[in-house]
Structure 1
Amino acid sequence: MRKVGFVVWVLAVFLAFSNCLPAATTDKAKEQAPQNAGKVQPAQVAPAAPEKEGDIYKQLELFSDALSMVRSEYVDNVKSKDLIYGALKGMVQSLDKFSEFMDPESYAEMKVETEGEFGGIGIEIAIKDDILTVIAPIDDTPAYKAGLKAGDRVVKINKDITRGITLLEAVRKLRGKPGTPVTVTVLREGENKILDFTITRDVIKVKSVKNPRMVEDKIAYIKLSIFQERSAKDLEDALAELEKQGMDSLILDLRNDPGGLLNVAAEVSGKFLPTGEMIVYTKGRNNKQEMEFRVKEKKPRTDYPMVILVDGGSASASEIVAGALQDHKRAVLVGMKTFGKGSVQTVIPLSDGSAIRLTTSKYYTPNGRSIHGQGIMPDIVVELKPTKKEDLSKQSPAEVFEKLEEQPQQPSVKKEEYDNQLQSAIDVIKTMRIYKSCVMKK
């Protein structure tokens, strides 16, 4: 009786999505100069009024006075370069949590890490509410196997408290030689004790498309763990194999998918939307920072019921796919609100070998919704499990760090849990089938 009630409720919600079963065509997404970026444009931000040259000189004079005062009066002798770098670091970090100044050494390290092979634990992280936070552990990586979860708040790395840590500093601490251990201490929603994980670093190699299978009669399930170069091709292969098995509906699982390549997110979206439809666009202060992605797929799959599973670990590219298919009413979103990482960072080298990582634009869904800081709200909210009492993760950053020395550390044991979100997605698919059947009979 309870299950029937759920299906009736889902049907009522689904009636608002009567266009969830469109038919048309699609192929890889295309980047082009933006023209009309979607059905609803976000409110236009008026350009900042140009500062008068005299005002800028006055402010620089103030900085020069402060610099001179520190050099002459500070108790210890400090190099001018260190003072300048410190000022630049503070200036850029004050903009947002993703912008950062890198001295020449840090910038050189970043280039090695992004261009070469390195050891890590396999998590995406961000600064959220002034605490280092796990966006998501990547499937089958050391962090995932150890039991780290999306939303875990990292309060220590190798016993060093992370208060005030930058993203770059955190990444440096977590990365290292494969085979070496790193200890990560976290606060977890629903737990009243600190959890301590000792994780062995490894070379991170990720399989993006996982576990394609039939979960029930003709209902296909595919887990997409990250958006990398081969993800769209691997997804296409998985869909083709499931279609051979007779699939007539799809559950695409983007939970704990921290994102990845923007162009791949466009390609994945394009497999399920009509040709020419808007997928995502970016807007910045300058025209050169604006991009638009539309569907170019020639044989899209737009005719079967589709549900996308999302949660707080779904970020960036995952949110682009979820937002596009939700705006076009192609899929019903089930789960929890996504992370809200919808900004684009550009690394700008400076003359002395240092660099600035600067937020230069933001993502917008086809209907003009800003993803950044907002996230994507699912059509049907389903929590994975209830929150327990005395939840340390709900405390303020100050309270968290004050209690760190007092709390005993507990080893974590990863447990298999009943996936009620997946079951809800299956129920939604069944309801969509009923609706489609009723429409076809009319």
Structure 2
Amino acid sequence: MCKIAILFVILFSGCGMFGPPKIGSGKPIKEVFAIEATLNPSSKCSFLMLYRAFSEINKSYYKKVSKKEVFEGGLKGLSKELGTELVLPEFEKDDEYTSDKLWRTIIDARDKSKKSLSQLCYATVQGAVSNLGDRFSIFIPAKNSKDFVRGVLGGSYFGIGAVFQIFVEPEQRVFIRTVHHSSPAERAGLKDYDELIAVEDVVIKKLNIKRANEYSKVVSLIKGKNGKPVYLTVNRKGWKHPRKIKVIRGKVKNKEANCKLLGKIVYCRVFNFGERMMKDFKESFEALSKEHDNKVVIDLRNNLGGLLYQATGLLAYGWFNARFSAAVIKSREQFTMLISEGGEARLRGYKTVILVNHTSASASEIVAGALQDHGKAVLIGTKTFGKGTVQALMPVLGAALNLTVREYWTPLGDIVNKKGITPDIEVLKDIADFINARDPQLGTAIKYLNK
């Protein structure tokens, strides 16, 4: 049985099929987190946590990292927490830079400062991860790890069920990009392309959304408490004046994919590659009327990715009925072709367009790159994000290490990381399109399919 870990994209090289997310022990990720949390119920950082984190970095990070580099990063994090610079010791061999020697440094620092051992330990691990210079490799303390896992897997939350598009140039404006089906926002009458003028008494144009704290203020006002109302002032094309709309916050269980008909063209929006995506995709696709043309739009815009086995599952369900190459995987100095098993290939023979934009990332880029390289689809939109790396989520005694373990290229060997995938037909979508409630990218896709 292939063993896999939860990833923003999930994979271990050599696995042909991908099942529900598990880690190296073969146990489901949720179960492992629950078991390890019992070993450290106080959520305090410990030597064992430090040792486990450092070992994983040395063993699993996709680029070779010396023990000295990990030690140096840990010392930087510790120095930052203490507000004083600690000197890196010089040892003759790399193997002498060990976790226990760093732990002794932490103990000494604790004895000379007012900081707790747990604070200093966490700072050390954070420093080691930060020193990798990889924005996607992060250490998640125990108090945040459950929320992080929930975010990767997908699921329900309390809010209004709307996604916003923010523009800061040429002027600061905020629009509703997506209103989720059966959400509080939909029940209140909000629609895609509505412009957000104010949240309660906070006027959007008076804020500087470039500042993280002011943007967070807007987000926190919208989130609020379950069952409590929030008043949004919105404007819509065709209205003479903005209107104040009352939205009762509630439980939002977003569909991860949804298919519908646009005339006789199948349109499938994939919001993210969470653990329910293929279930939602199949159910909505198979519920469609059979009276449609063999033409399909797969919308991956603003889809930041998720689980790799969901991405390869979509490829197999849609276009491949036999084994196929989904990507080229690079791990340190090794290259492996990611081969996935075929499936039903329900969309084989369909004229296919994939919509992408600058926030189509990770698993979205694997799907887009594979279909483009295999000649199964035409990509329309703008260049994708360029997140061509794979992160494994590793439980560490209640905390978690989200570590980059692989880099991937498209099946034909095009580099994705920091470069993105260029669409076959480039079509921009700017603030004027939101103001006028139009979608030129989707419009171009429909014209292409109908010609």
Aligned twin of 1:208: 256
Question: Where does the alignment leave 5 or more consecutive residues of structure 2 unmatched?
Answer: 1-9, 17-61, 69-90, 165-176, 196-207, 233-245
**1:427 equivalenced with 2:447 (yes/no):** yes
Aligned to 1:34: 14
The answer (yes or no) to whether the contact 1:279–1:295 under 8 Å persists in 2 is no
CA contact (8 A) 1:266 1:280 kept: no
One-letter code aligned to 1:272: W
1:99 equivalent to 2:137? Answer yes
- 1:34-433 to structure 2, matched below 5 A, reads 34=14, 47=64, 54-55=93-94, 57=96, 68=108, 72=112, 77-95=114-132, 96-107=134-145, 110=148, 118-120=157-159, 139-140=180-181, 155-157=211-213, 177-179=225-227, 202-210=250-258, 212-215=260-263, 218-236=264-282, 238-240=284-286, 244-270=290-316, 271-273=318-320, 275-280=322-327, 282-285=329-332, 292-351=338-397, 353-385=398-430, 415=435, 417-431=437-451
Instruction: Please list the CA deviations of residues 327-379 of structure 1 after superposition, one character each: whole Å capped at 9, or x if unmatched.
Output: 1111110101122234332233335x433222222333212334333322111
Q: 1:290 to 1:110 in 2, by over 3 A?
A: farther
In structure 2, C-alpha distance between the alignment counterparts of 1:183 and 1:35, rounded to whole Å: 50
Alpha-carbon distance in structure 1 between the residues aligned to 2:13 and 2:150:
32
Write the distance in 2 (CA, Å) between the matches of 1:116 and 1:421. Answer: 29
Aligned mates of 1:275, 1:70 — CA distance in 2: 59
Partners of 2:140 and 2:401 within 8 A in 1: yes
1:364–1:264 distance in 2 versus 1, CA, 3 Å? same
* AA of the residue aligned to 1:357: N
Tell me the amino acid that sits aligned with residue 445 of structure 2. A
What is the one-letter code of the residue matched to 1:105? K
Deviates more, 1:47-56 or 1:255-264: 47-56
- Is the contact between residue 32 and residue 292 of structure 1 (CA under 8 Å) also seen in structure 2? no
- Report the AA paired with residue 410 of structure 2: T
**Structure 1 spans left out of the alignment, 5+ residues:** 1-29, 37-44, 126-135, 163-169, 185-197, 389-413, 432-442
CA distance in 2: counterparts of 1:116 and 1:248, whole angstroms: 32
Matched residue type, 1:156: A
Structure 1 residues 65 and 229: CA distance shift in structure 2, 3 A: closer
Q: Which amino acid aligns with 1:359?
A: T
- Would you say the 8 A contact 1:118–1:175 is kept in 2? no
The TM-score normalised by the length of structure 2 is 0.57
The alpha-carbon deviation at position 274 of structure 1 amounts to 5.2
The TM-score with structure 1 as length reference comes to 0.58
Equivalents in 1 of 2:252, 2:280: separation in Å? 18
Q: Report the CA distance between 1:429 and its aligned residue.
A: 2.2
- Alignment correspondent of 1:3: none
Deviation at 1:82, TM superposition (A): 1.6
Given that 1:273 and 1:330 are in contact with CA atoms closer than 8 Å, whether structure 2 keeps it comes out as no
Q: One-letter code of the match for 1:315?
A: A
Aligned partner letter, 1:275: A
Q: Which residue of 1 aligns with 2:36?
A: none
Q: Indicate if the aligned counterparts of 1:280 and 1:294 stay in contact, CA closer than 8 A.
A: no
Q: CA RMSD in A?
A: 4.9
How many Å separate the matches in 2 of 1:109 and 1:46? Answer: 28
How many Å separate the matches in 2 of 1:108 and 1:354?
Answer: 9
Q: 1:62 to 1:116 in 2, by over 3 A?
A: closer
CA deviations on 1:143-181 (whole Å, 9 max, x unpaired) are 9969799xx97633577689xxxxxxx9x9997753468
> Is the Cα–Cα contact under 8 Å of residues 257 and 313 in structure 1 kept in the other structure?
yes
Corresponding residue for residue 199 of structure 2: none
Letter in 2 for 1:54: K
1:383 Cα deviation after fit: 0.3
Q: Letter of the aligned partner of 1:265 in structure 2?
A: A
Amino acid at match of 1:279: A
Q: Which has the higher contact order (CA 8 A, sep 6+)?
A: 1
SS, match of residue 404 in structure 2: strand
